[in-house]
Amino acid sequence: MMKNILILGLITIMNIIGCSSNSIENIKVLGTNEFTKEAWVNASQEERGGMVFSLLKTHDVKKMKVEEIKSLLGNSTAYYEYDEFPAYLVGSKSIKSDYGDGYLLAFPFDRETGLIRKYIIIPSP
């Protein structure tokens, strides 16, 4: 009985770790174009979608302050929960959600520290 519980626990932990490490890999379907601040500023919504994977691979957004994200990506182009959460529509406009045409890329942050808590992409790629 104890052995079965340990095995089940180990499988659960492996699944959690596997899902966490693969989540950024799923974003590759949007594209793998290189992210630069200059390229982002001049890009269309569709082109920005192609840079999200590179952005998240090259910038540890969870260690960034909200001001840094806004400086890097510019003014929000979408809305997510609160006006102050940076949010952007990226990728193909053929993708539909409650947030608009395209994928929503949002960065909720801790209001006390100003640090980004996570990134969200809706719908999931």
Per-residue pLDDT of 7-32, as tens digits, reads 444 343 333 333 333 488 999 999 99
Rounded distance between C-alpha atoms, residue 71 and residue 97, angstroms: 26
Residues in CB range of 96: below 8 A, 6 or more apart: none
**75-122 pLDDT, tens per residue?**
999 999 999 999 999 999 999 999 999 999 999 999 999 999 999 999
User: On the CB side of 22, how many CA atoms lie within 13 Å of its CA?
Assistant: 8
List, for residues 31-53, the tens digit of each pLDDT value: 999 999 999 999 999 999 999 99
Residue ranges of domains in the chain: 27-122
